[in-house]
Chain A
């Protein structure tokens, strides 16, 4: 086996007094595309958010590229696409401005050079949003917004992409663009860890599925086949909601 890019061993996490992860093991090897599946509240979002350090873990070890997460500094090797609900500011911002933030991990002291601006343009090209570069992100549809967030993750030219429900609330045209973009990234050797509600249009890409239930891994292997109505073409449920405790705490005036 190739070197693990992401490795979780016995990771536990609580939100408030409720255990959300009860000791999960998860390994993603270089070049793999792994889907993290499970019902709402199964802990899949919490698992990826613990990898990036957004959720405090109670026990267990998390490693990125073989380095303990606490000591990991090469963040430009990681591209992260959060659930779309987290990324809305109270001030207008253009598509370019948002995507440029993704390049900060490669920029010294936050100064973007010519090569950085070129990388931002390339990332926009990859998701087919170059013609909207100067538009405000508020003017975009859900699917276009999601493409912008993926471009932001790609701007640092990462080796590992972590995506939290990239297809939630995304129109069909954007789903195709996203699937195409992801296929291209994977063919260039990018490792991908995705949280998905169901496999959907990304199914052909996925090497391995890890299924969580109540904070435990209940399946780790080939992606499960869809059955019954879920297997029908065009079937798509979209539940862009997460367990109440996992919502970003950013709702009040001063919160």
Chain B
């Protein structure tokens, strides 16, 4: 455990743990609304923020937060009003964000593509004290929203139409989800990088739901996977000199494969048990139907 003696490793681990908690905590709602790639889009837009940060010599983390929050709100607005042309508008937003980032960082006197790479793929060992402060504040906001409003966010993400009839402020909650996702992207930016952020939002959730039946359990296990892989990846990169962001993402995908392998036989056994109980309830042979086929033959 000698790595704990180094201040940079302490900061790296703290940042990694916070990302491990927040990314799946927001990601679960994105996956629930079938917007798994939203995090990736926000990541692209955040690049413009990083570039602007360098150009204006502001903190790239806070500038990226500002720009990605604006981008996420814009995406949500496009989703409301765009309808059929929405996907084209989103594509332009994403690639415009990416191109803007490259442009601004090259115009900046202190910027270079090398700086950009550390944001694109993460650079845990260079996380500074002020980065850690920013990450802590932002992560606290994300945890507060995703846990405190979990019932409301669950209802809106599960069935927006029904949520409206329960009197929930659907638009406000949708915007809040988008903003929280944007904040999470910037929290995770230094750890796994903007291009890999989405993996940490989506894959732990996908892995967890291989073995769960409830939303609450999926949430808990996804966060547990997130924390395990971020710590595991950070420590591995210390000993093996491999890039932490890539290590973390590959570990997450490994977790997904392992859980899927465990879940497949489990599901088969469950299906077999269900088939047996069905067979006892219904006659095995087809009886001659009375008049017409029953309504329950419609496969939906």
Contacts and interface: CB of A to CB of B under 8 A. Distances in A.
Interface stretch (A20-28, A36-44, A47-55, A218-226): A47-55
Contacts of A215: none
Nearest to A234: B291
B172 interface: no
B164 A54 contact: yes
Interface of B: 28, 31-38, 41, 75, 79, 83, 86-87, 90, 149-152, 154-155, 157-168, 205, 209, 212-216, 218, 290-292, 294-296, 298, 300
B166 A105 contact: yes
24 contacts: A52-B165, A76-B166, A82-B162, A90-B32, A90-B34, A90-B36, A91-B205, A92-B209, A92-B212, A92-B215, A93-B215, A101-B151, A101-B166, A110-B149, A134-B213, A142-B300, A152-B162, A170-B295, A171-B295, A250-B34, A253-B36, A254-B37, A254-B90, A255-B86
Contacts of A234: 290-292, 294
A49 B294 CA distance: 29
B162 A255 contact: no
Contacts of B155: 101, 104
B296 A93 contact: no
A105 B167 contact: yes
Given A143-B296, A240-B300, A94 B214 contact: yes
Contacts of B205: 91
A156 B296 contact: no
A193 interface: no
Given A91-B218, A234-B290, 20 more contacts: A49-B161, A75-B166, A76-B167, A97-B154, A97-B214, A97-B216, A101-B166, A104-B152, A104-B168, A105-B166, A110-B151, A112-B151, A156-B166, A170-B295, A235-B292, A236-B294, A250-B34, A254-B35, A254-B37, A255-B35
Interface string A77-92: 0111010101101111
A45 to B, nearest CB: 11
Nearest to B82: A255
B167 A136 contact: no
B26 to A, nearest CB: 13
Nearest to A54: B161
Contacts, number: 161
Contact of A171 (B152, B212, B296): B296
Interface string A123-164: 000000000001110010111000000001000100000100
A102 B159 contact: no
Instruction: List the 9 shortest-distance A-B pairs measured between CB atoms, nearest first.
Output: A171-B296, A75-B167, A101-B155, A80-B165, A136-B213, A105-B166, A110-B151, A169-B300, A89-B32
B300 A136 contact: no
B43 to A, nearest CB: 13
Interface residues of A, number: 63
Contacts of A52: 161, 164-165
Contacts of A240: 298, 300
B199 to A, nearest CB: 15
A118 B76 CA distance: 36
A172 interface: yes
Contacts of A173: 296
Contacts of B167: 73, 75-76, 104-105
A249 interface: yes
A231 interface: no
A141 B151 CA distance: 25
A121 B300 CA distance: 27
A91 B32 contact: yes
A101 B163 contact: yes
Given A101-B162, A171-B294, A233-B291, A89 B157 contact: yes
B292 A101 contact: no
A94 B213 contact: yes
Contact of A253 (B34, B75, B163): B34
A77 to B, nearest CB: 10
